[in-house]
């Protein structure tokens, strides 16, 4: 599931960068969300997999704080980016004629930067005190199941929900894999064979 998440998100980012048809606000935000999902999963899952393989449940205090910092950072960033994406869709539906003027590249970059910055503020001002003073939960199994849900399964499902059901994204992914180029080569090759056959006749 972790590999599906990472490679799926990387494909989304690659498709968004390489296909000029996807150079729109929605896909700009989607590629940022994909990057955030990769980082969110990568803060905990690799360590979890090592612990499962080595049969150890040990982490240093500094490692725990570092992991917690980046987990809260990217978890909060996910929420803010989803809010920005909702605002983008609201503008597209409610103000379609003014959409390209309102959602200009400068505003899109500003919204993403603001998402990176309301994350850092929230981390330093509110969350750190709560998590550093919290006690261990008695139901560790339920906590582990819940953490797998939001660190592995949710980012993996986001790949399918936001991307693979989208026609433009499907087209861009086909271009990344070169399927359209292969079809063109086959068509051109078939046409050349027909021309040669006709000339021989």
- pLDDT tens, position by position, 125-170: 555 554 555 554 455 565 566 666 666 777 777 666 666 556 777 7
pLDDT tens profile 182-195? 455 444 444 443 44
Task: Count Cβ neighbours within 10 Å for each residue of 163-186 and write b for 16 or more, e otherwise.
Answer: beebebbebbbbebeeeeeeeeee
Q: How confident is the model at residue 69 (pLDDT cuts 50, 70, 90)?
A: confident
| Domain 2-200: CATH class, spelled out | mainly alpha
CA atoms of 66 and 10, how far apart (whole Å) = 24
Identify the three-state secondary structure at position 167: helix
Closest CA to 19 of 137, 189, 171: 171
CA atoms of 36 and 83, how far apart (whole Å) = 14
| DSSP collapsed to 3 states, 62-122 | HHHHHHHHHHHHHHHHHHHHHHHHHHHHHHHHHCCCCHHHHCCHHHHHHHHHHHHHHHHHH
Identify the three-state secondary structure at position 29: helix
Q: How confident is the model at residue 196 (pLDDT cuts 50, 70, 90)?
A: very low
Query: What mean pLDDT is predicted for residues 95-116?
Result: 86
Report the chain's mean pLDDT, rounded to a whole number. Answer: 75
Query: What mean pLDDT is predicted for residues 45-55?
Result: 86
Identify the three-state secondary structure at position 138: coil
Domain boundaries, the chain: 2-200
């Amino acid at each position: 599931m972790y590999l599906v998440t990472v490679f799926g998100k990387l494909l989304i980012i690659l498709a968004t960068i390489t296909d000029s048809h996807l150079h729109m606000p929605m896909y700009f935000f989607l590629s940022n969300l994909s990057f955030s999902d990769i980082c969110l999963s990568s803060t905990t899952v690799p360590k979890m997999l090592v612990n499962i393989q080595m049969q150890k449940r040990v982490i240093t205090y500094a490692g725990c704080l570092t992991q917690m910092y980046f987990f809260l950072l990217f978890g909060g960033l996910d929420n803010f980016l989803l809010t920005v994406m909702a605002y983008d869709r609201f503008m597209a539906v409610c103000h379609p004629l003014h959409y390209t003027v309102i959602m200009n590249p400068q505003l899109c970059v500003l919204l993403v930067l603001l998402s990176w910055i309301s994350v850092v503020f929230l981390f330093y001002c509110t969350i750190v005190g709560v998590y550093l003073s919290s006690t261990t939960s008695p139901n560790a199994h339920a906590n582990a199941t819940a953490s797998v849900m939001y660190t592995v399964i949710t980012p993996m499902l986001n790949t399918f929900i936001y991307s693979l059901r989208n026609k433009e994204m499907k087209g861009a992914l086909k271009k990344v894999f070169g399927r359209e180029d292969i079809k063109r080569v086959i068509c051109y090759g078939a046409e050349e064979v027909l021309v040669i056959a006709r000339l021989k006749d």
